[in-house]
Amino acid sequence: MRVTFVSSNVEKEVDDVVSIDFVGDNGEFRILDNHDNLVSLLAKGDFNYVTKNGKKVNFSVVSGLINVEKNNVKVVLTEYSGDIA
């Protein structure tokens, strides 16, 4: 999956993501390759993703939005802490 992170001070793309875990407005979610289309608000909690080479990245989200469409994921972060790289 390709994941694009956007915030007021960062725009970063990661092309080799195999899974994403996050807290949405309706609870915890896991996104894998070929996931159905989805739009959700991000709730306060941990956001994790894993790349094909096994690298796991964790950071904390306060608020934002996630949009999943055809293996392209856009994450708009209005407030977060940690390194998304």
Say yes or no to pLDDT of 15 above 70: yes
Pseudo-torsion of CA 80, 6, 2, 72, nearest 10°? 110
- 9 or 44, which is more confident: 44
HSE of 74, CA atoms in CB hemisphere, 13 A: 8
6: containing domain: 2-81
Q: Domain of 15: which CATH number?
A: 2.60.15.10
Total tally of structural domains belonging to the chain: 1
Q: Pairing relation of β-strands 2-6 and 72-81?
A: parallel
Say yes or no to pLDDT of 13 above 70: yes
pLDDT of residue 68: 96
pTM, two decimal places: 0.91
Say yes or no to pLDDT of 85 above 80: no
First-to-last CA distance in the chain? 15
